Structure 1
Amino acid sequence: MTGPAEVRCTLMRGGTSKGACFLAEDLPADPAARDDLLLRVMGSPDPRQIDGLGGAHPLTSKVAVVSPSEDPDADVDYLFLQVAVDRAEVSDRQNCGNILAAVGPFAVERGLVAPGDDETAVRVRMLNTGERAVATFPTPGGRVDYTGTAEISGVPGGAAPVVIEFPAAGRPLLPTGRVRDTVAGVEVTCVDNGMPAVLVPAAALKVTGYEQPKDLEEDLALADRLRGIRLAAGRLMGLGDVENATVPKLTLLAPPRTGGAVTTRTFIPVRCHTSIGVLGAASVAAGLRLPGGVGEGIARPPASGERIRIEHPTGFLDIDTDVDTGARPPAVRRTAVVRTARKIFDGTVFPRPSGTVPAQPQGGNDGSATR
Structure 2
Amino acid sequence: MSQFSIPCTVYRGGTSRGIFFVKSSLPEDAQLQKKIFLHGIDAYNVNQINGLGSGTSHTSKVCVISQSLLDGVDVDYTFYQIGIGEEIIDDKGTCGNLMAAVGAFAVDEGLVIANPSTDYVNVSVFNTNIKKKLQLKVPVVNGRARVSGDYVMPGVSGTGAQFAVDILNPGGAKTGKTLPIDVLFSMETDRRAYEVSFVDVVNPFVYVAANDLGVKGTEPSSELTMNEGLLVEIEAIRSRMAIHAGMAKSPEEVAGSVPKIALVAEPQDYVTSAGKLIRKEEVDIVARMLSMGKFHRTFAGSGLYNLAAAALLQGTIPNRFAVEKDGVQGQIIRIGHPEGIAEVRVSLTEDGKDVVSIGLDRTARRIMKGDLYIPE
Letter in 2 for 1:150: Y
* Structure 2: runs of 5 or more not aligned: 269-278
Conserved? CA contact 1:307–1:319, under 8 Å: yes
Q: Please tell me whether residue 175 in structure 1 is matched to residue 174 in structure 2.
A: no
Q: Which residue does the alignment assign to 1:57?
A: 56
Question: How many residues are matched?
Answer: 349
Which residue is 2:241 aligned to?
233
The runs of 5 or more residues in structure 1 that have no matched partner are 355-371
CA deviation map 1:291-316 (0-9, x unaligned): 22223442214433331111111112
SS of the residue 1:165 aligns to: strand
Match of 2:261 in 1: 250
Matched residues in 1 for 2:171 and 2:365: separation?
31
Contact 2:312 2:325 (C-alpha < 8 Å) held by counterparts: no
Relative to total residues, which structure has the larger strand share, 1 or 2? 2
**Deviations 1:313-363 (Å, cap 9, x if unpaired)?**
111211011223726xx1112211101101111111222x13xxxxxxxxx
Q: How many angstroms apart in 1 are the aligned matches of 2:158 and 2:50?
A: 29
Residue pair 2:247, 2:254 contacting (<8 A) in 1 also = no
**Is the CA contact 2:239–2:254 (under 8 Å) kept in the aligned structure 1?**
yes
**Preserved CA contact (<8 Å) 1:153 1:315:** yes
For the residue of structure 1 that corresponds to 2:368, the secondary structure is strand
Following the alignment from structure 1 to structure 2, what is the Cα–Cα distance between the partners of residues 170 and 30?
33
Alignment RMSD (CA, Å)? 1.8
Separation (CA, whole Å) in 2 of partners of 1:174 and 1:110: 38
Instruction: Give the alignment of 1:80-159 within 5 angstroms.
Output: 80-116=79-115, 117-118=117-118, 119-159=120-160
What corresponds to 1:188 in structure 2? 196
Aligned twin of 1:365: none
Please give the TM-score of this superposition, normalised by the length of structure 1.
0.90
In 1, distance between residues paired with 2:2 and 2:305?
Answer: 37
Distance 1:129 1:3 in 2: 38
Would you say 1:308 and 2:333 are equivalent positions?
A: yes
Rounded to whole Å, the distance in 1 between the matches of 2:208 and 2:2 is: 43
Cα separation, partners in 2 of 1:261 and 1:179, compared to 1, 3 Å: same
1:220 aligned to 2:228?
yes
Looking at structure 2, the residues matched to 320 and 174 of structure 1 have their Cα atoms a distance apart, in angstroms, of 19
- Which residue pairs with 1:335 in the alignment? 358
Cα distance in structure 2, aligned partners of 1:95 and 1:87: 19
Identity among equivalent pairs (%): 30
The alpha carbon displacement at 1:168 in A equals: 0.9
CA distance in 1, matches of 2:360, 2:187: 30
1:167-187 per-residue CA deviation (whole Å, 9 max, x = no partner) reads 1136221021x2111122210
Instruction: Find the aligned partners of 1:16 and 1:295 in 2 and give their Cα distance.
Output: 23
- Report which stretch shifted further, 293-302 or 35-44: 293-302
Q: 1:82, 1:16 → 2: CA distance?
A: 15
Q: CA deviation at 1:275?
A: 1.0
9-18 vs 317-326, greater mean Cα deviation: 317-326
